[in-house]
Amino acid sequence: METQIENKPAATGVVLVAGKEYMPDAKGNLVPVSAIKTQHLMEDEVVRKIIGFAIPLAAQVRRFREHSFADLAKFDRDLEEHYGLVKRGRKGKGNVTYMTVDGLMKVEVKTADDIVFGPELQVAKGLIDECLIEWSAESRPEIQTIIANAFDTEKEGKINRSAIYMLLRYDSDDPRWQRAMNAIRDSMKIVGRREYIRFGIRETPSDDFTSITINIADA
């Protein structure tokens, strides 16, 4: 006769097998609750509690982001209609700031290119390494640090984008360096665009804006 497995509410992580309480471990094995250390059960409980709030909150933030962009898009269409402009709405407009009449509240929409780096980047690294070997006695420590940070691929094979951009601002008469910078520029490919929305508020028009912190860039 097959054993009947009855699930308790998903929030507990506990399942009943023949009337006894078990919890699956990371490998999928059912472990008797009585055999699990108290501190691990307490940890499990607090994580499930936090995630229980995080999931609906993330969904709410996602809906808020969608509604905010929809409201701004409708405003843009109304504005274009007001001036007799036939256009496709907000898409492709770039950075825009919307403000209240009193100047105390603002909504900013920022766009940024999603950039990846192609194989030319490794060619650039080879040329830069040649420069460093020859410059080692005279090159400034800061440029060596920037180069080391730019091509540090220890973390998930990712490069340091900000350090790469800093390299492009560094001038040198060495033709190898110039070819390396050209290789970096050629390696940069735009694969898409991302939109960000930010909110600001202040007490008086002479005050600086304070950000309303809602991290919805990836919502």
Token code pair at residue 68: 């905010």
Please choose, from the candidates 182, 183, 73, the residue with its C-alpha nearest in 3D space to the C-alpha of residue 118: 183
**Top-confidence residue, 148 or 24:** 24
Please choose, from the candidates 85, 90, 56, 98, the residue with its C-alpha nearest in 3D space to the C-alpha of residue 73: 90
Alpha-carbon distances, residue 200 vs 60, 62, 162, 205 (angstroms)? 20, 19, 26, 12
Partners of 39 in beta bridges: none
> How does pLDDT run across 63-98, given as a tens digit for each residue?
999 999 999 989 988 988 889 886 554 555 568 999
- The pLDDT score that the predictor gives to residue 45 is 92
Strand, helix or coil at 141?
A: helix
- The pLDDT score that the predictor gives to residue 209 is 95
Report the alpha-carbon distance of residue 160 to residue 164 in Å, rounded. 6
> How does pLDDT run across 158-208, given as a tens digit for each residue?
678 888 888 888 888 889 999 999 999 999 998 888 888 899 999 999 999
**Top-confidence residue, 144 or 45:** 45
The percentage of residues in the chain with a pLDDT greater than 90, rounded to a whole number, is 38
